[in-house]
Amino acid sequence: MARDSCLARVGAGVAVGGAVGGAVGAVYGTYEAVRYKIPGLLKIRHIGQVTIGSAAVFGLFLGAGSLIHCGKSY
């Protein structure tokens, strides 16, 4: 059974974290935009900023967690 390289594991962690963070950020950004009654096209901009920010943070932390676990063998 071939083991994945460390770089592949970290890349997969960043990708999964970015996807999950983007989904959560889109839902939360939409909720905030409706709650605070952000007008017009600013609503789309706000949702996009929250989505990108959340995806970046989730991806960073999941990638870091993958990097930490990379050296451990169970």
Upper half-sphere CA count for residue 22 (Cβ side, 13 Å): 9
Residue 63, Cβ neighbours under 10 Å: how many?
Answer: 20
65/68 Cα distance (integer angstroms): 5
| Cβ neighbours for 37, distance < 8 A, ≥ 6 positions apart | none
pLDDT at 55 over 60: yes
Q: Whole-model pTM?
A: 0.87
Q: Give yes or no for a contact between 19 and 65, defined as CB atoms under 8 angstroms apart.
A: no
Quick: pLDDT tens for 1-42.
Answer: 346 789 999 999 999 999 999 999 999 999 999 999 999 999
The SS3 assignment for 60 reads: helix
